[in-house]
Amino acid sequence: MVKAVLIRILFWLIDTAREAPESDEMESWLADNWGRPGFRAYIAQRDFLLVRKLAGGNQLTVLPPRNAWQMTGQRVELLLLGQKAKAAYERRKKNKGL
């Protein structure tokens, strides 16, 4: 009985949307930041450092699995942020061109 309820709750949590709809303020913030060279440079530099650490760094040491997964997650989040910012910038650019 309890197991069935917990399974239903789990499926309910999985089916719900995890991302909040993006507001106009967030869209504007993302587009503004993508237009700045410093933001793009930060994303590129941070991505380079994460890849370098995942590859073993200067000493070519193997990372513990927990650290490797954490850095992989950080890289995914960073790339998704860059993707959203670029998409917002492109939408703004397209809308202003019309």
Mean model confidence pLDDT for the chain = 85
Place of tokens 């890289």: 75
Q: What is the pLDDT of residues 46-83, one digit of tens each?
A: 999 999 888 887 777 777 888 889 989 999 999 999 99
Total domains in the fold of the chain: 1
Question: Does a structural domain hold residue 48?
Answer: yes
Range among 12-16, 24-28, 38-42, 67-71 with highest mean pLDDT value = 38-42
State pTM to two decimals: 0.70
Residues contacting 82, CB < 8 A, separation 6+: 34, 40, 43
Question: Does a structural domain hold residue 15?
Answer: no
CA atoms of 64 and 94, how far apart (whole Å) = 45
Question: Does a structural domain hold residue 45?
Answer: yes
Residue 37 confidence class, pLDDT cut points 50, 70, 90 = very high
Predicted pLDDT of residue 48: 94
Question: Does a structural domain hold residue 61?
Answer: yes
Question: Does a structural domain hold residue 81?
Answer: yes
Predicted pLDDT of residue 96: 82
Question: Does a structural domain hold residue 63?
Answer: yes
Q: Which domain holds residue 44?
A: 23-97
- What share of the chain in percent tops pLDDT 90? 47
Question: Does a structural domain hold residue 7?
Answer: no
